[in-house]
Structures are given as structure tokens and as C-alpha cells.
Structure 1
Amino acid sequence: MVHSRRMLVLRAVIEDYIRSQEPVGSSALAHHHDLGVSSATIRNDMAALEDEGYLVQPHTSAGRIPTEHGYRYFVDRLSTLVPLTQAQRRGITRFLGGSVSLQDTLQRGARILADITGQVAVISSPSLSKSTLRHVELVPLSDSRLLAVVITDTGGVAQHTLTMPEPCTQSDLDDFCSLINADCTGLRLFTAAQRIRTLALDTLSSPRRRLAGALADALTSMADDEQTSDLYMAGTSQLAHQRTIGDLAPLFDALEEQVVLMRLMSTLGEDQGGVGVAIGSETHNPGLIHASVVSSGYGRSPETADETGTDTETGSERQAKGEHADPVAFVGSIGPTHMDYGATMTAVRTVARYLTGLLAQDEDDDGH
């Protein structure tokens, strides 16, 4: 455990290094921060922090810079996040409010997040596997083929062709869809598939049982599809201006590995309402060894923040109150390890909350 005064010194070093990207010396800390001790004492504290692995001295007689361990300690103890300015919040609302579709909103969200942070912004579309069933419709294509049209709570539309051994009348299809929509609306696709199979065994006649089995298989296939979530990315051109982020080639390679990136950000963003941070080696990706990733989930989450988005309640605190809900997608930012963590975390969370509110509003507008 870092001594309380040394913790203040560590915080001051990180804040100054984030701002200047130059090694920080003890005399500069004594001049710019009210630490209440002499430059010599600060120098001793910095030497102790170096011994403990929180700081490193890149050159003899130079100042010190934070290590990955130092950044982790700093991020874990951020007591407050830097609030966005009123102009930034109005800009987000105005820019995203002009969207014409969910896809347009996600692309705009990535662009404005990249503009605010000066980093790479990544937003995933809602995953079918985490969405819930809003409505299902069966459309005849021929005597033996049906088109299952599935609409989810996040506004997603998926289609799947069903092959039937015998034709169904339109009346049968309408009755079957009414039964499924009445019994399965609000369930995740995999759960809905299980419910449909149970209905088939317990209550349905033989023709409808085969139809139920085909639809259940289709829903399971949709839920298992890893490619149902698209990534919207912006700000990659700004990486060229990050002189200290290291070799850009491995980083661009990491950004191309979308499945790996989605898995990382989804894991970080699972605690919806909170913000997850992976620093350097914590990403378990060689291409991100000199970068940090900040992510927050969005979707069916209780709205607990005020309109300024400045509350500091953690995801675990919300979960203790029964306010936790699994996110359906994530918002993320990727930048150098010397990023402004407080500002980035706030920006990511603000965009995530906007998207959560947008999906909830769409659901309310549809009468659910």
C-alpha cells in the first residue's frame, strides 16, 4: 500500500505527465502542487515510488514518468471523473439527435467521441445474442419455405429461411405467430428458443410442433452468430499524431482484429453503468502494449445519473442496489497510456448513456 503522501505525489506526477508528456521532476512538483513538503522530501517519495514500481526514471538526472502499475493505481483511485463542459454535452445531444437511423447514430457517436478525446473511438451495434425478442413474423416464400423475420428490442431486424416438410395455411401462420409473440416477447433469443421448444412439446399439434422446432433452431442460430454485432470506428487518423504511443503498425493490426477487440471491450464494458479500463499488458494484446482501452456498456440499463453525467457511482454499487443489467453493446476509446483517463472515462460513459436512453426511448415509442 502506498503511503498516503506518496499517493498524492504519484497522482501529481501522473497528472503533470499526462499534461506535458515530459518526465516530471521534484522541483516542478513542489512548484506546481501544494504538497506541503519540501522538494527534497518529494524527491525521496519519488525514489520510493520508483522502488515500488509506480514510477520509472527514463534517463539519469531526469524526472520520472509513470509505469503501467502507476497508471493502474491512479485509475483505480480516481475519486471523481472530469465532467464534460455544457458545450460538449449540448454538442453530443445535437450531433446525435440529427441521426436518421440507429446505424447513423452509432457512426456519429464514434465520430464525436473521437473528436472529444482525440483518440480512436469504437462503438459496437447491439448484439443479437444479448437482445430480446420484440416481434416475430413468418412470411411464406413457397409451399415448403418460410421467411422468419425477427425484430428485437434494440431495433435490429434479422431474417432466417425455414424449410417445412408440408405447407402451412396463412391462418395457421398467423395463429402461431400470435402465440409466439404473446409468450416470448421480452425474452432473449436463446431463451425464447427454449420456450418455443417447451411449447411444442406441451401444447402444439404435430404440424405446428415442426414449425416451432424450425423457428427455435433459427433463433438459436441467430443468438450464436458472432458476426451479428458490427463495429463503428473513428479517429484512427489521429494515431499518427501520438508520437509516444510506440510502433503504430502493431496497433493498427490490433484494430483490424475486430473479434478480439470486441471481446476485450465487451468484457471491460460488462459492468454497465460503470467504465472499465485496460492498460498496456492488461489488454493481453501485443498491438496494444503501449495503449489503454476504456469501455462502457450500453443498452437496457437503469438511468441513475443526472443530466450532467457527473455521478461517480460504480457498477458494483449499482449492482448492490439491484440496478445492474447486462449491456447489449459497448462504447470504447483507445489511446496512449498517458491519456487523460478522467476525461476519457467521462466521455465514454456519456455517449454510452445517450445510446442507452435512445434504445429505451425507441422501446417506449413502440409501446413496450
Structure 2
Amino acid sequence: MVSERGLQVLRAIVQDYVDTREPVGSKAIVDRHHFGVSAATIRNDMALLEDEELIAAPHTSSGRIPTDKGYRVFVDHLAELRPLSPAQKNAIGAFLADTGDLDDLLVRTVRSLTRLTGQVAIVQYPSFARADVSHVEVVHLGGSRIVVIVVTDTGRVSQRVAFLASEPTADETAHLKLSAASLLTGKSVRDGAAAVQRLLEADAAPGRDDNLRIVLRTLAEELEEFRQDKLVMAGSATLARREADFRGSISPLLEAIEEQVTLLRLMGEMVAGDHGLATSIGRENEPFGLAEASVVAGEYDVTGSHARLGVLGPTRMDYPSNLAAVRAVAHYLSRLLEEDEQSR
């Protein structure tokens, strides 16, 4: 059981180690934090923290650094999050304002978050299986080339170029658009995908309206992409710059960023606490092959459901500031999506 002063000493060690990257000794704690007790008393507190495996000595006769367990206790006992400055809040609002579609907004979101934290920023697309298709467009680009556009009521826009079996006339292009729109508009992505698949299977004979069949296959591919979990990320280069902060190789982190599946699983299993925030620290991520990293995540609201955004970096990160940044950006993103929904 850690005493209240022991928690204060742990906080001091975490804060100083994050700030300086150097092991923290008892004298430095006395000098910097003014506990009103002697260095010998602080050494006793540190010995108890070490017994609890909350801090460790990286070298003989050195100061102490937090362990993964120590960071967990530190985060769990945070009295409050470090508030963002007015300048930081204004920067978030300005950077996310006047965005185009949802894709643009999420790209700006991760860029804003990585600027605030200096970590890899991650945002999860909402689940579009529950979104409704609000608009379908087929545009003739010349020759046999068309572009098929699908828009959902959540603001997601997808477009895909396809090549028809023959060059369409203006009337045929209008017919292709009407057929696609009447099939999908007002349906959920899930139901729309099923309707397209049924029509493709029912009309599989070769030579029967090949151009319409190509449009349907293109729609099926677009809707399937909507249904898949997807991440947007920014700041991957920061991992290389922070390589000294990791105990081992950063290769598993780079692989996870490239493949995304691991990060999607991890973020999906993180348990949120107060304010919808969650952390997963160091060895807690071992089942995902990411024992060298910590993830801080928050939830944002979209059309009655939740998706997550967050940051990934070394365990030696500024948790209070990163949690505050994630919470603030999630709040702005939720508000912008709500305003967009109300304006539709």
C-alpha cells in the first residue's frame, strides 16, 4: 500500500523523468519539489516505491525511473488533467474549422493532435455500417471512364473510377445514375451492400446490361470499404526521433502503424474511465506486441455512436498533457460532427 506522500514522491519522479530524461535522485526531489522533509526521508519513501515495483534503478548507484506499473499508478491517481492553454484551444478550433468532408476533417484532426503532443496521432473512422446512403452519383468522364460517388448521412464521401464495357450515351449515364440511386438512397450501408449483392447474383448472365453490372460491382466495392474499420494517422516520423525513449526496437510499432489491424484491436479493447479517456501502458500492450509503447485514447461522438482517437508513443510521455489534448480534440471533433449533422 503506497502512502499519500509516497504517491507524491512517485509523481515527482515521473514528472522529473519525463522532463529531463534522467534518473531522479532523492536530493533532486528535495531541491525541486520542497516536500519539507529530508533527503533521507525521501530515500525511505523511494525504497518503499521500489519494493512495490513502481520505480527501478536503471544502473547501479543511479537515481530511479518509473516502471510501467509506476506509470499506471501515476495515471490512475491523477487528481486533474493539465488544462490546455487558450492558445492551444484556439489552435485546435482554427485548424479544424472550414473542413471539407469527413476524410478531410479526420486528417486535420490527427495533424492537430500530433502537433499538440509530439506523438503519433490516431483517429478511428466511425462505423459506417449503420450510416445511411444519402446520395449516389455517376459521372461520365469521357470514353468508357466514369466515376461513382457515394455519400452517407455521416458526411463520408467515397468516389471510385471505373471503366464501362462501352462508352455510354448521356441517356445511359442518366439511367445508370437513376438505377444506382433508387437502389441505395435512404438505405443503410449494410442494407445497401446486401441489395447490390442480391442484384448482382440474380442478374449474372453475361451480355445483359454489362455497364450496369460494372456500376453495381463498383458500388459493392465502395460500400464494403465503408464497412471496414479504418484508421487515419499522423506523426509516424516522431517514433524515429524518439527512438532513445524506447527500451528495445521500434520495429513492432512501425509494423503496427503500417498494418493498422493491431492498433484497431488494441483501441477497441481499451476500457474508458472518466471523461471517456483510456490508457494502455507498456507491458499492458504485450498481447498486441507493443510492450514498448503507451496509448492514450478518448472517444468522440458521431450519429449516436462512438469512435476513438488517441496518441501512441513511448511510456516516458507526458500523460497529463496528452490526456488533456486527446480530450480537447475529441470534444472539438464531436462538436463539429454534431453541427454538421444538424445542418443537414
The interval holding the TM-score normalised by the smaller chain is 0.7 to 0.9
Deviation track 1:267-293 (CA, whole Å, cap 9, x = no partner) reads 337679411110012123564212100
1:344 aligns with 2:322: yes
Q: Is the 8 A contact 2:120 2:238 kept in 1?
A: yes
Structure-1 separation of matches of 2:189 and 2:23: 53
| TM-score normalised by the chain length of structure 2 | 0.74
Amino acid at match of 2:269: T
Q: Which residue of 2 aligns with 1:296?
A: 298
Alignment of 1:187-266 (within 5 A): 228-242=228-242, 243-246=244-247, 247-266=249-268
Alignment of 1:291-330 (within 5 A): 291-300=293-302, 326-327=305-306, 329-330=307-308
Structure-2 separation of matches of 1:228 and 1:289: 27
Q: Which residue of 1 aligns with 2:24?
A: 24
Structure-1 separation of matches of 2:305 and 2:95: 27
Q: Which residue of 2 aligns with 1:45?
A: 45
Q: Which residue of 1 aligns with 2:144?
A: none
SS at match of 2:37: coil
Structure-1 separation of matches of 2:182 and 2:337: 25
Distance 1:158 1:239, change over 3 A: closer
1:353 aligns with 2:324: no
Distance 1:271 1:47, change over 3 A: closer
Distance 1:150 1:95, change over 3 A: closer
1:224 is displaced (CA, Å) by: 8.2
Aligned-residue identity in percent: 43
Amino acid at match of 2:341: E
Q: Which residue of 1 aligns with 2:215?
A: none
1:230 is displaced (CA, Å) by: 3.0
Structure-1 separation of matches of 2:110 and 2:225: 24
SS at match of 1:73: helix
SS at match of 2:48: helix
Amino acid at match of 2:45: D
Distance 1:226 1:253, change over 3 A: farther
Amino acid at match of 1:337: T
SS at match of 1:252: helix
1:136 is displaced (CA, Å) by: 7.3
SS at match of 2:122: strand
1:135 is displaced (CA, Å) by: 4.0
Match of 2:310 among 322, 326, 332: 332
Amino acid at match of 1:111: R
Q: Which residue of 1 aligns with 2:172?
A: none
Q: Which residue of 2 aligns with 1:133?
A: 132
Amino acid at match of 2:120: V
RMSD: 3.7
Structure 2: stretches of 5+ with no match in the other structure: 139-147, 160-174, 196-201, 203-219
Structure-1 separation of matches of 2:137 and 2:272: 34
Distance 1:261 1:292, change over 3 A: same
Q: Is the 8 A contact 1:271 1:296 kept in 2?
A: no
Structure-2 separation of matches of 1:226 and 1:283: 28
1:54 aligns with 2:54: yes
Q: Is the 8 A contact 1:269 1:295 kept in 2?
A: no
Q: Is the 8 A contact 2:131 2:189 kept in 1?
A: yes
Q: Which residue of 1 aligns with 2:78?
A: 78
Structure-2 separation of matches of 1:269 and 1:7: 23
Distance 1:343 1:138, change over 3 A: closer
Deviation track 1:191-231 (CA, whole Å, cap 9, x = no partner) reads x79xx9xxxxxxxxxxxxx9xxxxxxxxx999987863332
SS at match of 1:121: strand
Distance 1:280 1:105, change over 3 A: same
Q: Which residue of 1 aligns with 2:91?
A: 91
* Aligned residue pair count: 300
Structure-2 separation of matches of 1:150 and 1:269: 34
Structure-2 separation of matches of 1:273 and 1:4: 24
Q: Which residue of 1 aligns with 2:282?
A: 280
Amino acid at match of 1:236: S
1:107 is displaced (CA, Å) by: 1.1
Q: Is the 8 A contact 1:272 1:326 kept in 2?
A: no
SS at match of 1:14: helix
Structure-2 separation of matches of 1:3 and 1:221: 58
SS at match of 1:284: helix
| TM-score normalised by the chain length of structure 1 | 0.70
